[in-house]
């Protein structure tokens, strides 16, 4: 009898992954060795640079860029994290930015240009509001996960010894992304500056009515932005043809267990706070898997990455994601 493959996996701790990580839901046909990486974003770089894990959560834009760079990994349409992206872009009140088109000619900060949060928000600005992204100068203060990525001419590193938070506080930036992609949410930078508790936040959201805009955009487009997806070494999928389906079914079962808790336990369920407001909008499944359920979303993400100069062409999503169903 052929021995069961023993495979390593690094994935974040979410409600939808909890039952796999605690052993209640096995992955059929394999013995899984879980590797804890905190924060999980640290695993992304280790995966695309060193293929350190057999199975790994990965930011979807990082995955698309890595595929074009020849990294031998394949994504499954399993998505462990999502959120909308009209919120999170902060601007200085003295920047002269009142509406999206005012971003043109300005200097903005983002942790890394290929970070998925930035790609989603820039895509919305370009395609919904007509913003010329090439007319914005983007400053970054971290490496791209995929080292071979050649950045567009309008992307620059921060000056030596500076951070995005420093530049924003000093007025050398007009705005920048919040904690998920750079500077710190609601005017609380990650380094270099702190607002006093008694003072109002010094930065404001570009879209102050973001929840309403996000809901309207989703209803009109069907796009529900993805973040973490599951990738597997391509050679393992070829060697073990059952693996893709086993992983898909395991994550679906684990998600079902979590959704049952979300609906019955309410705030006591993992990730309730993140998805409670989204549930009514997305009709009870805040994390749909599979290509058919995510076609509009994935086509938008690939289009945005191509428009922003991160990939040289716009392939069909079937060329990037292996749907085992």
Final residue of a domain: which of 220, 248, 268? 220
Q: What's the pLDDT at 178?
A: 78
Torsion angle defined by CA atoms of residues 196, 199, 202 and 207, in that order, rounded to the nearest 10 degrees = 120
Say if 244 falls within a structural domain: yes
Q: What's the pLDDT at 1?
A: 63
Residue whose token pair is 């903005």:
108
Torsion angle defined by CA atoms of residues 291, 292, 296 and 297, in that order, rounded to the nearest 10 degrees = -40
Encode burial over 201-213: b for 16+ CB neighbours within 10 A, e otherwise: ebbbbbbeebeeb
Q: What's the pLDDT at 193?
A: 33
Query: What CATH number does residue 275 fall under?
Result: 3.40.190.10
CA distance 175 to 166: 12
Angle between helices 60-68 and 116-129 (to 10 degrees): 90
Final residue of a domain: which of 156, 190, 220? 220
Q: In whole angstroms, how far apart are CA 204 and each of 106, 235, 295, 302?
A: 16, 47, 33, 29
216 in the same domain as 228: no
Q: Could you report the per-residue pLDDT of 64-113, keeping only the tens digit for each? A: 999 999 999 999 999 999 999 999 999 999 999 999 999 999 999 999 99
284 in the same domain as 250: yes
Domain membership of residue 192 as a residue range: 89-220
179 in the same domain as 264: no
Task: Tell me which of 121 and 182 has the higher pLDDT.
Answer: 121
Tally of structural domains, the chain: 2
211 in the same domain as 104: yes
Final residue of a domain: which of 154, 189, 220? 220
Which candidate, 249, 215, 257, 239, places its Cα nearest to that of 74?
Answer: 239
Q: Residue 175 in 3-state DSSP?
A: strand
Give the count of beta carbons closer than 10 Å to the beta carbon of residue 320.
21
Q: Residue 50 in 3-state DSSP?
A: helix
142 in the same domain as 68: no
Q: What's the pLDDT at 188?
A: 36
215 in the same domain as 300: no
284 in the same domain as 185: no
pLDDT band at 183 (very low <50, low <70, confident <90, very high): low
Give the count of beta carbons closer than 10 Å to the beta carbon of residue 143.
12
**Neighbouring residues of 303: CB distance < 8 A, sequence distance ≥ 6:** 123, 314
């Amino acid at each position: 009898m052929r021995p069961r493959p023993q495979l390593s996996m690094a994935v974040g701790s979410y409600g939808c992954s909890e039952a796999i990580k605690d052993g209640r839901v096995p992955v059929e046909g394999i013995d899984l060795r879980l590797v804890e990486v905190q924060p999980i974003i640290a695993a992304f770089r280790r995966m695309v640079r060193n293929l350190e894990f057999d199975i790994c959560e990965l930011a979807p834009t990082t995955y698309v860029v890595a595929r074009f760079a020849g990294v031998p990994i394949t994504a499954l349409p399993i998505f462990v994290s999502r959120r909308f992206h009209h919120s999170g872009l902060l601007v200085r009140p003295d920047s002269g930015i009142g509406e999206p088109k005012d971003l043109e000619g300005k200097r903005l900060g983002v942790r890394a240009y290929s970070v998925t949060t930035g790609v989603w928000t820039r895509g919305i600005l370009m395609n919904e509001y007509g913003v010329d992204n090439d007319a914005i100068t983007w400053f970054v203060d971290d490496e791209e996960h995929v080292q071979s990525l050649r950045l567009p001419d309008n992307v620059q590193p921060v000056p030596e010894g500076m951070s995005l938070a420093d530049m924003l506080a000093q007025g050398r930036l007009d705005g920048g992304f919040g904690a998920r992609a750079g500077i710190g949410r609601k005017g609380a930078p990650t380094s270099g500056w702190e607002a006093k508790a008694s003072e109002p936040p010094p930065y404001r959201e570009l879209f102050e009515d973001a929840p309403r805009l996000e809901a309207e955009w989703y209803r009109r487009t069907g796009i529900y932005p993805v973040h973490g997806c599951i990738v597997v070494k391509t050679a393992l999928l070829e060697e073990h043809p059952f693996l893709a389906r086993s992983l898909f079914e395991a994550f679906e079962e684990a998600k079902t267990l979590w959704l049952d808790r979300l609906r019955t336990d309410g705030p006591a369920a993992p990730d309730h706070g993140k998805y409670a407001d989204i549930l009514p909008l997305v009709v009870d499944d805040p994390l749909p898997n599979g290509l058919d359920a995510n076609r509009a979303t994935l086509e938008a993400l690939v289009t945005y990455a191509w428009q922003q100069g991160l990939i040289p062409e716009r392939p069909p999503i079937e060329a990037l994601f292996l749907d085992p169903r």
